[in-house]
Amino acid sequence: MNKISKEELDVISEVVSEQESRRNFFKKTATYSMGALAAASVVAPVMLSANEHIKANAEDDPNIMEEKPWATKWGAGVDEGLYGMPSPYEHNVTRRITPILASGNTRASIAVTPIQDLSGIIVPNGLFFNRNHGGTPTINPNEHRLMIHGLVEKPIVLTMEQLKRYPSVSRIHFLECPANGGPEWRGPQFNSIQFAKGFMSCAEWTGVYLKDIIKDLGLKPEAQWMLAEGNDSSHMGRTIPVDKVLDDVMIVWGQNGEALRPEQGYPIRIVVPGWEANLCVKWLARLEFSAEPYYAKEETSKYTALKHTGKAIQHFYVNEVNSVITSPCPEKPWTDLKKGDMVEIEGLAWSGFGTITTVDVSFDGGKNWTEASLKGLVIEKAWTRFSIMHEYTGKPMLLSSRAADDAGHIQPSVKNERAAVGIEGVYHRNGIHTWEIDAKGVVTNVQILS
């Protein structure tokens, strides 16, 4: 740091003493004028203002013509809310729950993200969807350990400090519950984008590549699988193939620049980019390598997709290419639009296979399609925004989106997806999503079976 010269120090001291004398002056003044201030409050709303000489007409917006209390009174000091919170007016922008998504109680349930209220591709940490299997633990990071063992030459235990000494990487990836949209295999049920598509979020994750640690340990050639296990009360484990581990799997402690929230796995979780968020085990404590798969409790009737053949897809890794229009949606209708208004149709596309290449939008239920613009950052295994302009006609329409990715996958129609897997899959539903918009601009969740 630069040294402060004697001269500069004297100047600073003068400023400080001047401030102190002023503060004393204000203290005295404040005491004398308390009564005056109270009187001023009583006589509100008549206030002295720069506009006092302007007489408001009927067409003038009173929000402009009248002074607001926040413009005429002190706001909060910087010492209030040292960890900041959203405006209280935003309290309806929140995760939400519904009993049907719980396995009995709120410890094994999901709270979903209000994607209708979000912009860009980053979800604030307090709104990131939360799926638990045994409740959110409060883990002391000083007592938390990560063990890596099994088919490695050198099994190790890391403290959190030791883990964070590996070279860090930051990556933007979506995490999606593979049951996102799952309650709607047999038809639409939620007239809400938050519940129809909000089992997902996207964040910038900071941690280490697991392969950077593995290279120190001597992975044995017969190792095909890795168990990732948390030490919350559910002790949830999942099997991950070594091929993915050595590609881009991360152990993360950071989420959007700060520590993981407790409900996201504090102090550490695993992130398996593009794959089922259920594989991204929270409160991560143990990694074990083996020659055979583990068959954990979430690799049974849960997290397998039953096809109409009676066979279920197991180890269904990728959250496939998908998209949804976020504006309009049931929560953000077009009821305020007039015929002839120009309006931006906006949405989210994502693919666990790779990077979004195109998104098409249909105004007639998927019969004809127009390519939309991608906008903002287009990054692999991350939310991608798309947009298309529209002149509002006031006529009913069926509005759909269809995404494609660089791995050669195209979002299937509901009909195509049903042909491949039936209607009992529960997980991995990525069929084209459609909103029906009526003549009043009200938006409803529908599916197109053509």
Partner 1 sequence: MYKSYHKKIVASTLLASVVFLGTACNASNDEKKSTIETKSTAQAQSAVATNTPMNTEGFTKREIDAVGPANALVSETVKKTYEHNGKMVIDGGVTYPIVNGKTGAYYVNETAHKTPFHNGKPATANEQKAWDIDVMPDGTGLPEGSGSVEEGDEVYEEKCASCHGDFGAGSGLYPKLTAGNAYEAQKTLMHQRINPDDDGPQRVFGSNWPYASTLWWYIKTGMPHQAPMSLTNDEVYALTAYILYINEIKIDGVLVDDEYVLDRAKFLKIVMPNVDGFEPKINGPKGADNAREYYNNPLNYGNGVRCMKDCFEGEPKVSRIIRPIADFTPALTAEKTMPAATAAAVPGQATYEASCAVCHATDSMGAPAVGDKAAWAAVLEKGIDKVYHNANNGINGMPPKGGAMDLTDAQMKEVVDYMVNASK
Reading across the β-sheet that carries 342-350, which strands appear in turn?
Answer: 322-327, 342-350, 384-391, 373-375
CA dist 407 and 420 (Å) reads 19
Q: In the complex, what is the shortest distance from the CB of residue 394 to partner 1, in angstroms, rounded to a whole number?
A: 20
Give me the torsion for CA of 125, 298, 235, 226, rounded to 10°: -90
- Give the pairing of strands 145-150 and 284-290: parallel
CA dist 140 and 300 (Å) reads 32
Q: In the complex, what is the shortest distance from the CB of residue 22 to partner 1, in angstroms, rounded to a whole number?
A: 35
Reference 113, options 104, 126, 100; nearest CA is 126
CA dist 98 and 195 (Å) reads 9
Residue 66 vs 117, nearer CB to partner 1: 117
Residue 265 vs 431, nearer CB to partner 1: 431
Q: In the complex, what is the shortest distance from the CB of residue 385 to partner 1, in angstroms, rounded to a whole number?
A: 15
At position 352, the amino acid (one-letter code) is: G
Residue 255 vs 445, nearer CB to partner 1: 445
CA dist 236 and 265 (Å) reads 12
Q: In whole angstroms, what separates CA 147 from the centre of its chain?
A: 29
Q: In the complex, what is the shortest distance from the CB of residue 212 to partner 1, in angstroms, rounded to a whole number?
A: 6
Residue 18 vs 371, nearer CB to partner 1: 371
Q: In the complex, what is the shortest distance from the CB of residue 156 to partner 1, in angstroms, rounded to a whole number?
A: 4
Q: In the complex, what is the shortest distance from the CB of residue 391 to partner 1, in angstroms, rounded to a whole number?
A: 21
Q: In the complex, what is the shortest distance from the CB of residue 135 to partner 1, in angstroms, rounded to a whole number?
A: 9
Q: In the complex, what is the shortest distance from the CB of residue 181 to partner 1, in angstroms, rounded to a whole number?
A: 13
Residue 269 vs 429, nearer CB to partner 1: 429
CA dist 332 and 172 (Å) reads 26
Residue 260 vs 285, nearer CB to partner 1: 285
Residue 54 vs 291, nearer CB to partner 1: 291
Residues 6 or more apart whose CB falls under 8 angstroms from that of 278 comprise 131, 177, 178, 238, 298, 303
For residue 69, whether the previous peptide bond is cis, meaning omega lies within 30 degrees of 0, is no
Burial group, residue 146, by CB count within 10 angstroms (0-12, 13-18, 19+):
buried
Residue 128 vs 275, nearer CB to partner 1: 275
